[in-house]
């Protein structure tokens, strides 16, 4: 047989050519698919495929409760946010995609809030992914930019335990210029040896003009905390949420009781000797409420005008009013107003119409606003007498009568 002529050579030379075209086609297809996936991710949908569930789970459980799904303020009113809120949201999205350093468990505030990814919380009857896409900010390519940096806090909520510190922080977090770490870092009491770099790494990223915050209520009664915070920055602004020390003590006891139902009664723990009426000031539930004594330690390191005392009672009766004072103190524009709150009858507390990074109403969880046990009236009376001189001293020091003494 004659060997194939030039015409017969075509099939063999065409084979590598089509293979190379095929390879190019495959390559283009792959890059197309990759780009599609990247855009898909930027539209937040990839979070439905993997990654933890973010947000404030406390409120999540209540969001679907009857009567809670409707935003009293109306969607238009609630949807209006300044441009900076948009930048904040971009940051939140970026951060959510990064691995966070482990945050110490928050046992004082035991409802350690499980963070939800912004916009991922499923609305009642709706899918999380659906609502997230609706909320995805435009210009998502900006997410690729590594915006912002981690800063040490410029303001700290240092106390008091059971004063209302969680409510204050969560309310403040809706301000576009506030970025706060969710759980309590306990750096200045338990983890100081880990160093400032460790502490800073716990913080969320902030853009210029934003304030970094954290709350750890035990700082207020930690002897070393004032000097340590001052060593970090003597300009740190300090916020203390105070509450009637008797109610605070009962709240503290109620929390312990919820974990250890076998503890002795409040009445028996209150006294060193009940017949003499001698109060046991070594019991932390009692000791924390001697605010004037603790404040003395802080005033050795900070001027009083660098401290703001928030009334725990008013934070419940007039959250917008107290938030107004806090925003002024922090040098923030008064953005959080009464429009942001509604009173939830079932919860018995003010709640947010829309929590940070979410579009749904939000109340604090079950560990906030527990029912207190009935305490013997005489014991309560004795405690009121015990605290009175300390309270008066505290009013004097702060220039503010908190009204706990009639």
Ligand X SMILES: Nc1ncnc2c1ncn2[C@@H]1O[C@H](COP(=O)(O)OS(=O)(=O)O)[C@@H](OP(=O)(O)O)[C@H]1O
Which positions lie near ligand X, rule CB under 6 A? 108-109, 161-167, 217, 251, 254, 315-316, 349-350, 364, 368-370
| Residue 360 in marked binding region | no
Of 88, 161, 162, 354, the catalytic one is 162
DSSP assignment of 19-54: HHHHHHHHHHHHHHHHHHHHHHHHTTGGGGTSS---
Residue 135 or 244: which CB sits closer to ligand X?
A: 244
| Residue 60 in marked binding region | no
State the nearest-atom distance from the C-beta of 278 to ligand X, in Å. 26
Q: Is 162 a catalytic residue?
A: yes
156 neighbors 238 (Cβ within 8 angstroms): yes
| Residue 362 in marked binding region | no
State the nearest-atom distance from the C-beta of 313 to ligand X, in Å. 9
- H or E stretch including 172? helix 165-172
Residue 158 or 203: which CB sits closer to ligand X?
A: 158
Residue 329 or 349: which CB sits closer to ligand X?
A: 349
State the nearest-atom distance from the C-beta of 210 to ligand X, in Å. 23
Phi, psi of 239 (to 5 degrees): -120, 130
SS3 sequence, 320-384? HHHHHHHHHHCCCCCCCCHHHEEEECCCCEEEECCCCCCCCCECCCCCCCCCCCCCCHHHHHHHH
State the nearest-atom distance from the C-beta of 81 to ligand X, in Å. 22
DSSP state for residue 159 in the 8-state scheme? E
Residue 129 or 241: which CB sits closer to ligand X?
A: 241
Instruction: Of 103, 228, 243, give the one whose Cα is nearest residue 167.
Output: 243
| Residue 162 in marked binding region | yes
| Residue 163 in marked binding region | yes
Show binding-site residues for 3'-phosphoadenylyl sulfate: 162-166, 243, 251, 368-372
Show binding-site residues: 162-166, 243, 251, 368-372
Q: Which residues are catalytic?
A: 162
């Amino acid at each position: 047989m004659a060997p194939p002529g030039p015409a017969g050579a075509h099939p063999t030379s065409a084979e590598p050519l089509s293979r190379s075209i095929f390879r190019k086609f495959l390559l283009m297809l792959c890059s197309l698919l990759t780009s599609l996936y990247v855009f898909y991710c930027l539209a937040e949908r990839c979070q439905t495929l993997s990654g933890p569930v973010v947000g404030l789970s406390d409120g999540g459980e209540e969001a679907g409760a009857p009567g809670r799904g409707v935003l009293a303020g109306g969607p238009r009113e609630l949807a209006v946010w300044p441009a900076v809120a948009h930048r904040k949201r971009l940051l939140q999205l970026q951060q959510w995609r990064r691995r966070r350093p482990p945050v110490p468990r928050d046992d004082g505030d035991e409802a350690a809030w499980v963070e939800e990814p912004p916009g991922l919380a499923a609305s009642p009857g709706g899918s999380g992914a659906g609502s997230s896409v609706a909320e995805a900010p435009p210009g998502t390519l900006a997410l690729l930019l590594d915006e912002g940096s981690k800063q040490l806090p410029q303001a700290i909520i240092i106390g008091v335990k059971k004063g209302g510190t969680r409510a204050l922080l969560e309310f403040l977090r809706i301000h576009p210029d506030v970025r706060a770490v969710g759980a309590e870092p306990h750096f200045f009491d338990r983890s100081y040896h880990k160093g400032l770099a460790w502490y800073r790494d716990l913080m969320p990223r902030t853009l210029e003009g934003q304030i970094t915050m954290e709350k750890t209520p035990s700082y207020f009664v930690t002897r070393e905390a004032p000097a340590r915070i001052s060593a970090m920055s003597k300009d740190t602004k300090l916020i203390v949420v105070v509450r009637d020390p008797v109610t605070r003590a009962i709240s503290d006891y109620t929390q312990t009781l919820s974990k250890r139902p076998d503890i002795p009664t409040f009445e028996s723990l209150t006294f060193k000797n009940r017949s003499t009426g001698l109060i046991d000031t070594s019991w932390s539930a009692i000791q924390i409420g001697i605010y004037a004594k603790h404040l003395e330690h802080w005033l050795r390191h900070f001027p009083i005008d660098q401290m703001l005392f928030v009334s725990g009672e008013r934070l419940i009766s007039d959250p917008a009013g107290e938030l107004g004072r806090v925003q002024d103190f922090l040098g923030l524009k008064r953005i959080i107003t009464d429009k942001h709150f509604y009173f939830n009858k079932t919860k018995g507390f003010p709640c947010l119409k829309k929590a940070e990074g979410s579009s749904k109403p939000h109340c604090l969880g079950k560990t906030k606003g527990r029912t207190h046990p009935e305490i013997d009236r005489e014991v309560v009376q004795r405690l009121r007498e015990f605290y009175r001189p300390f309270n008066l001293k505290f009013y004097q020091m702060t220039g503010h009568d908190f009204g706990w003494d009639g």
